[in-house]
Amino acid sequence: MTQPADQAVNSLSDRIRGEVLGPEHAEYDTARSVANGAIDHRPALIVRCAGPEDVAVALGFARDEHLEVSVRCGGHNPAGTAVCPDGLVVDLTPMNSVDVDAEARTARCGGGATLAQLDAATQSHGLAVPAGTISHTGIGGLTLGGGMGWLTSEYGLTVDNLLGAEVVLANGTLVHASAEENPDLFWALRGGGGNFGVVTTFEFGLHPVGPEVHVGLFFWDMSVGREALELVRGVVRELPARHNALVGIGLNAPPEPFVPAEHQGKLGHALILAGFGSAEEHARAAAMLDDGPPRLFEMRTPMPYTGLQSMLDDASPYGILDYEKGLPLAELDDEVIGLLNDYLRRKTSPLTFCPTFRLDGAFTEVAEDATAYGGSREAGYMLSLTALSFDPEELVADTAWARALWTELLPHAVRPAGYVNFMAEVEQDRVRAAYGPEKYQRLARIKAKYDPENVFHRNANIIPALA
């Protein structure tokens, strides 16, 4: 590893309010770790930024020292893009404040905040931003790629609720992006990833949610796997308003108190129904499952919305070895169900499964070209083939498994590439396919305007359009 000269590093430290960490620092190894434990990158420097001015100084230093740049928010990108080997990490984690205007139903959120921090602040007013499903996810990367979760059917993607952003450009300039200011940049930020600058503040619209929601988890043994997914397919199409569903395909029953001891570890399929209306409405939604195959077990309970937002944290703990490959599907048709049931029996790790989002409702009401989100706005599913393990050999086996299943499912996909936030391998052809040619070219022109030298390329990269 080539380190900048001590004199240059000391000068950088003197010019910022935050902190500069090098390999000799006691917190260096913690600061360079990311959610995917399979990533082991060693940057030359990590700059923990206290504000946008620190970001600008860090970018200038990287330019002067010819260092590659990466930007860290929550460190959740499965490709490990938050931390660059031998380069400079612009670490936003100290910038995690959340200011809520309950009367206006808006929130200003620092670029380093996690979903847990955002939810805690907004839920104190009975409000929420539609976001993801793992509470230690960073709001920055999630938002810039799209952002889907429990509120997608009711209020759309996270980017559909973004009102504005403060952005430090590659040249160190701080700009504001909104529908009125730099509207081209604002459009690109809503789905185009971290290609255009460092977002130091997000401004979100809020919605009344909770504080209590109704949750049901229903589990079928793999012996009735086909019948269970056929039932789920029909039920999610007819869910009443104020409900959303997440399908856990090929899930091993967790060692939780609500799972009978004799069923813990068994392979099957799960459906989680989240209801944001009354208990009676949720009971009617759950009753739609009664005409299908017998369930191995179920759990129904009211819980705080923040509890729902952290419910899946144990299924994807920080530091687990991870490989992901996503694919958008119009339907769980019979052939897809057959492939899933066949392949899920072949996985190696009990933690590997296919979390699958149902995308409908408000998600479909946004025009395809209204945001840069790289996917169809038609109703359907976003399937994530997620290999997870604490054992490197298991991860190798299930990575091969995920790639093979992805290839088999490809003919059934809406587009020949998935959601950019689910890419453990960032391949240029898949990035282009995810956005489609017209949207990609529009993004490339905007990239050429705001980051012509492609400083921000450790992402699902948009190549700047040639002049």
d(C-alpha 231, C-alpha 154), whole Å = 22
Domain ranges of the chain: 6-91, 98-209+440-450, 212-422
* CA-wise closest residue to 295 among 332, 331, 258, 329: 258
List Cα–Cα distances, 182 to 164, 166, 336, 450, 455, in angstroms.
10, 11, 43, 10, 20
Rounded to an integer, the average pLDDT of 403-416 is 90
Instruction: Compute how many other C-beta atoms are within 10 angstroms of the C-beta atom of residue 285.
Output: 23
Q: What average pLDDT does this structure show over 39-64?
A: 96
- Average pLDDT in the 17-37 region? 94
Inter-residue contact 32 to 83 (CB < 8 Å)? yes
**Bridge partners, residue 198, by sequence:** 168
CA 124, 130, 135, 137 torsion: positive or negative? negative
Residues in contact with 7: Cβ distance below 8 Å, sequence separation at least 6, in sequence order:
none
pLDDT confidence of residue 49: 97
**CA 380, 460, 43, 389 torsion: positive or negative?**
positive
CB of 178 within 8 A of CB of 164?
Answer: yes
As a whole number, the mean pLDDT across the chain is: 94
Pick the CATH number of 98-209+440-450 from 3.30.465.10, 2.40.37.20, 3.10.20.30, 2.40.160.60: 3.30.465.10
Report pLDDT for 467.
Answer: 63
Q: State the architecture of 6-91 in CATH terms.
A: 2-Layer Sandwich (3.30)
Q: Is residue 83's pLDDT more than 90?
A: yes
Domain 212-422, classified CATH 3.40.1390.10, yes or no: no
Buried b (16+ CB within 10 A) or exposed e, 69-83: bbbbbbbbbbbbbbb
- In whole angstroms, give the CA distance from residue 47 to residue 25: 12
Q: Which amino acid is at 66?
A: H
Amino acid 315: pLDDT:
86
Measured CA to CA, the distance from residue 153 to residue 236 in angstroms comes to 11
Q: Which of 266-270, 316-320, 434-438 is predicted most confidently?
A: 266-270
- Residue 22 and residue 135: Cα distance in Å, rounded? 29
Categorize the per-residue pLDDT at 47 as very low, low, confident or very high, splitting at 50, 70 and 90. Answer: very high
pTM: 0.94
Residue 433 above 90 pLDDT? no
For the chain, how big is the Rg over CA atoms in Å?
A: 22
Mean pLDDT of 243-248: 94
State yes or no: pLDDT of 418 exceeds 90: no
Residue carrying the six token digits 């509120």: 151
Specify the pLDDT at position 420: 84
HEC sequence for the chain:
CCCCCHHHHHHHHHHCCCEEECCCCCCHHHHHCCCCCCCCCCCCEEEECCCHHHHHHHHHHHHHHCCCEEEECCCCCCCCCCCCCCCEEEECCCCCCEEEECCCCEEEEECCCEHHHHHHHHHCCCEECCCCCCCCCEHHHHHHHCCCCCCHHHHCCCHHHEEEEEEECCCCCEEEEECCCCHHHHHHHCCCHHHCCEEEEEEEECEECCCEEEEEEEEEEHHHHHHHHHHHHHHHHCCCCCEEEEEEEEEECCCCCCCCHHHCCCEEEEEEEEECCCHHHHHHHHHCCCCCCCCCEEEEEEEEHHHHHHCCHHHCCCCCEEEEEEEEECCCCHHHHHHHHHHHCCCCCCCCEEEEEEECHHHHHCCCCCCCCCCCCCCEEEEEEEEEECCHHHHHHHHHHHHHHHHHHHHHECCCCCCHHHCCCCCHHHHHHHHCHHHHHHHHHHHHHHCCCCCCCCCCCCCCCCC
**Can you say whether the dihedral through the CA atoms of 196, 198, 204, 210 is positive or negative?**
positive
Tell me the pLDDT tens digit for each residue of 128-139.
999 999 999 999
User: Left if phi > 0, otherwise alpha if psi is -120 to 50, otherwise beta: which for 172?
Assistant: left
**pLDDT value at 347 more than 60:** yes
Give the per-residue pLDDT at 419. Answer: 83
The pLDDT, as a whole number, for residue 364 is: 95
Q: pLDDT for 165-200, tens place per residue?
A: 999 999 999 999 999 999 999 999 999 999 999 999
- The percentage of the chain sitting over the pLDDT mark of 90, rounded to a whole number, equals 87
Taking residues 88-117, report their average pLDDT: 97
Query: What is the token pair recorded at 258?
Result: 């609500």
Please name which of 373, 448, 344 lies closest in space to residue 130, comparing C-alpha atoms.
373
Question: Is the model's pLDDT at 415 over the cut of 90?
Answer: no
CA distance 172 to 329: 40
User: What does the pLDDT average to over 91-102?
Assistant: 97
Q: Which two tokens stand for residue 35?
A: 């959610």
At residue 92 the predicted structure's pLDDT band, cuts being 50, 70 and 90, is very high
**Which band of pLDDT confidence, cut at 50, 70 and 90, is reported for residue 1?**
low
pLDDT score at 122: 97
Q: Does 2 have pLDDT greater than 80?
A: no
pLDDT digits (tens, 9 = 90+) for 437-466: 999 999 999 999 999 999 999 999 999 998
pLDDT of residue 111: 97
pLDDT at 233 over 80: yes
Average pLDDT over residues 393-418: 92
196-222: per-residue pLDDT in tens?
Answer: 999 999 999 999 998 999 999 999 999
Least confident of 11-20, 93-102, 389-398, 402-411: 11-20
Per-residue pLDDT band at 430 (split at 50, 70, 90): confident
**Cβ neighbours, 10 Å, residue 9:** 17
pLDDT at residue 304 greater than cutoff 90: yes
